């Protein structure tokens, strides 16, 4: 299955491909201030793929906080949080905010509250490399 989505204004697009049903995927509710303020519910599939497409990279880049290793794809125009992207060992990895997917209503499982506050930078990269989906970024003037 491929799940499509993006931000409200259409500047950011996400395509999430997985062999699993939405309810078979992990649904995580990170407890950090960013995710709680954005209402983020994320999922990933280390055997799937995420393609993140933007019309352009925002001036100054994507939002980063904490360890500053992850690009949080928040639309600079409409403010929707679409995904998180990081490179681990030269390979892109991503987590998708299911609330930005068109099929968000299909993710009906109860989310697991997650607290990553005690992770080291290295531990965070290791976990994301293992758990997040393989990903690539496409910059295209129009989809």
Go through the domains of the chain in sequence order and give each one's CATH number. 2-139 (2.170.150.70)
Element (H, E) at 124: helix 121-131
The answer to whether residue 22 scores a pLDDT higher than 90 is: yes
The percent of residues in the chain predicted with pLDDT above 70, rounded, is 99
73 pairs with which residues across the strands?
A: 83
Rounded Cα distance, 36 and 11, in Å: 23
The answer to whether residue 27 scores a pLDDT higher than 70 is: yes
- Give 112-129 pLDDT, tens digit per residue: 999 888 889 999 999 999
- Give 78-113 pLDDT, tens digit per residue: 999 999 999 999 999 999 999 999 999 999 999 999
Element (H, E) at 5: strand 2-6
Rounded Cα distance, 41 and 27, in Å: 6
């Amino acid at each position: 299955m491929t799940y499509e989505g993006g931000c409200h204004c259409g500047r950011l697009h996400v395509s999430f491909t997985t062999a699993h049903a939405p309810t078979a995927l992990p649904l995580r509710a990170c407890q950090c201030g960013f995710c709680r303020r954005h209402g983020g519910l994320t999922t990933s599939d280390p055997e799937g793929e995420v393609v993140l497409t933007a019309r352009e990279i925002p001036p100054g880049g994507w939002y980063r906080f904490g360890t500053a290793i992850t690009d949080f794809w928040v639309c600079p125009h409409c403010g929707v949080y679409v995904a998180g992207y990081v490179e681990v060992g030269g390979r892109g990895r991503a987590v998708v905010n299911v609330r930005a997917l068109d099929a968000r209503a299909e993710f009906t499982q109860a989310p697991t509250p997650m607290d990553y506050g005690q992770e080291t930078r290295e531990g965070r990269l290791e976990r994301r490399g293992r758990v997040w989906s393989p990903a690539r970024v496409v910059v295209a003037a129009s989809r």
